[in-house]
Amino acid sequence: MQLPPVPKTPSWLLALQFEANIFGCMDAITQRYGDMVTVMFGSTPTIYVSNPSAIKEIFTRGKEIVARGALNKEEFALFTGEQGVLQLDGAHHKNRRKLLMSAFHGTRMQACGQHICELTEKIMAKQSIGKPFLAYPMLEQITLAIGIKVVMGLRQGERYEKVKELFATVFKHELSSTMQLVAKLPFWEWDLGRWSPQGNLLYLRKELFQLLYAEVQERRKQCKQLDSSPTDILSDLVLATDDTGEPISDEEIRDLLISPIGATQGASATAIAWALYWIHSLPHVRDRLLAELNGMGENPDIPTILALPYLNAVCNEVLRIYPTQLFSFPRIVESPVEIMGYKLSPGTIVIVNIYSTHQREDLYPETKQFQPERFLKQQFSNYEFLPFGGGSRACIGGAFALFTMKLVLATILLRYQLNLVKLQPEKPKFDGLLCYPGSGVKMIMQSRYQHKKQS
């Protein structure tokens, strides 16, 4: 076996450097060792790849390099359940993925657009003129509500409020920096009920799973009595059958609901928060974007907003410079394969380094600078620009995240004049899953504009 270069730094020290400054560490490793790097975890080599030609081979050679669901179980099964889409394989994974993606494309996604705009206005209207607020947590409220609507069809009522509260609590609990630190300590797995971190997480998980299971059972009863077509993922799953013609179990449906809600909330909120930061940090970007938005005239329709070229370029540059997903899901070499001259043996783990791919100077000159114009001048391949991963494990809600991002940004910028409280660089933080603005993007509302309604 011939592996890519291996950093001389011991893996335990490398892990500490990643914890302290993951972006600086990745930049330094790539600069020194190139775009294919091997890190040894015990006796298992893990190869991080940021070469577009190699990425293409990884995503297209599915027989030799396989995206096994088992590789995701340790990190995600506790939260998403044993039968979540990330843990599935083969035809089973392909079938469930197709069902989940149906709501994130086509006419159903378009029908959700007006709800996104209205929900954004409703939550933004709660902010007071002249009073600072944190944009990131506010955007998490918006995108979580959107996710629950798209996935479960809920938008109000007692059960909706309870689902929203539990999801928000579990997300905050599991992804907080404190929990990330505590999880590394020896007593993490002690279950002392709600008095211990792990016990409290398990309690919250149980509550959430029970609530989702009850909603699945209730929806199954409702769908038997309705003749209309389903309008959300939950109803799709309840009415669907597997390859043998049998309905999907309530337990599996419960597990399948969690990832798309989490993806809708996390990826979208993070990306929109970064967008508000960059737009309001750079006056020339804000002025050009506002000119494009205002050029639509009164009552712009949603398709017109989605087609705006500069808005699209701004969103893409946001997703390039700090992609919400820094790495692809891991893949494993199952039969000998050669990638870019390196001969990889079975058992080798391969991970696409999305962040470092997006930082290549040969693709993106002045890579640390926020320059939306690069996406107006050039079209990048799916192996050069891949903010939502790629191949069979690409984010199921990637297209919907971009859709949501555009509509939320347009609604906010057309209705409100915002400024950053402090003009200082926003430092990124990585919680093990998402790359988010460290201080939450502190903003202040200066005024409200005359209403322009999206139709």
The reply to whether 60 and 206 lie within a common domain is no
Domain annotation covers residue 187? yes
The reply to whether 208 and 302 lie within a common domain is yes
One DSSP character per residue, 11-24 reads HHHHHHHHHHHHHH
What CATH number is associated with residue 407? Answer: 1.10.630.10
Choosing from 306, 339, 357, the residue where a domain stops is 357
pLDDT at res. 107? 74
CA 393 to the chain's CA centroid: 13
The reply to whether 77 and 97 lie within a common domain is yes
pLDDT at res. 193? 61
Q: How many CA atoms lie within 13 A of 330 on its CB side?
A: 18
Cβ atoms within 10 Å, residue 72: 19
Token pair 């944009």: residue: 135
CA distances to 54, 77, 384, 452 from 65, in Å: 12, 22, 19, 50
The reply to whether 319 and 219 lie within a common domain is yes
Six token digits for residue 256: 């399948």
**Cα–Cα dist 253/240, whole Å:** 10
Q: If we measure between CA atoms, which residue out of 59, 3, 58, 65 comes closest to residue 33?
A: 3
Choosing from 342, 357, 372, the residue where a domain stops is 357
pLDDT at res. 455? 54
Domain annotation covers residue 257? yes
The reply to whether 29 and 142 lie within a common domain is no
**Strands across the sheet with 442-448, in order?**
132-134, 442-448, 416-420
The list of the chain residues with pLDDT below 70 reads 1, 103, 105-106, 173-195, 197, 227-228, 450-455
The reply to whether 378 and 441 lie within a common domain is yes
Tens of pLDDT, residues 36-45: 999 988 889 9
The reply to whether 206 and 119 lie within a common domain is yes
Q: How many residues are recorded in the chain? A: 455
pLDDT at res. 430? 84
State which residues form the domain around 143: 67-323+358-448
Give Cβ neighbours of residue 86 (< 8 Å, ≥ 6 apart).
Answer: 69, 72, 76, 80, 259, 329, 393
pLDDT at res. 450? 64
pLDDT at res. 271? 96
The reply to whether 217 and 261 lie within a common domain is yes
The torsion of the CA quartet 17, 318, 437, 425, rounded to 10 degrees, works out to 90
The reply to whether 52 and 172 lie within a common domain is no
Cβ atoms within 10 Å, residue 122: 11
The reply to whether 145 and 21 lie within a common domain is no
pLDDT at res. 262? 86
Choosing from 313, 335, 357, the residue where a domain stops is 357
Q: What are phi and psi of 97, to 5 degrees?
A: -60, -40
**Cα–Cα dist 24/38, whole Å:** 18
Domain annotation covers residue 363? yes
pLDDT at res. 223? 86
Six token digits for residue 342: 């390196």
DSSP-assigned letter for residue 422: S
Domain annotation covers residue 453? no
pLDDT at res. 178? 52
Domain annotation covers residue 454? no
What CATH number is associated with residue 332? Answer: 3.30.43
Strand residues in 305-348 grouped as ranges (E): 331-333, 337-339, 342-344
The tally of domains found in the chain comes to 2
The reply to whether 193 and 47 lie within a common domain is no
The reply to whether 15 and 126 lie within a common domain is no
Taking each helix axis from N to C end, the angle separating 283-294 and 309-321, rounded to the nearest 10 degrees, works out to 140
- Is position 395 annotated in a ligand binding site? yes
Six token digits for residue 373: 């114009």
